[in-house]
Amino acid sequence: MTKVTLKLNLLTCDSCIRSVKGILNSLDNVTDAEVELTKAIVTVNKNNPDSLQELVTNIADIGYEAEILN
């Protein structure tokens, strides 16, 4: 299991949180995604550590910018 933290830009409301969590939780290798609105970060637990860029790409597909912090 790999834990990844991403910084999100343009994250402003509860609807944003639902959108980001929804797209991440729909990915096969993601076991959990938690979003902190006040810090604009998302913590993702995933099974495959080799597919980190997949997280950024899927978040970008719904209109948000993400940067891998760790």
Query: Which residues span the domain enclosing 40?
Result: 2-68
The pLDDT assigned to 10 comes to 87
- Count: domains in the chain: 1
* Residue-level pLDDT at 24: 96
Question: pLDDT higher for 7 or 11?
Answer: 7
For the whole model, what pTM was predicted? 0.88
- Residue 7 belongs to a domain with what CATH number? 3.30.70.100
Which residues sit opposite 33 in a β-bridge? 44
Q: How confident is the model at residue 6 (pLDDT cuts 50, 70, 90)?
A: very high
Q: pLDDT, tens digit, for every residue of 27-69? A: 999 999 999 999 999 999 999 877 889 999 999 999 999 999 9
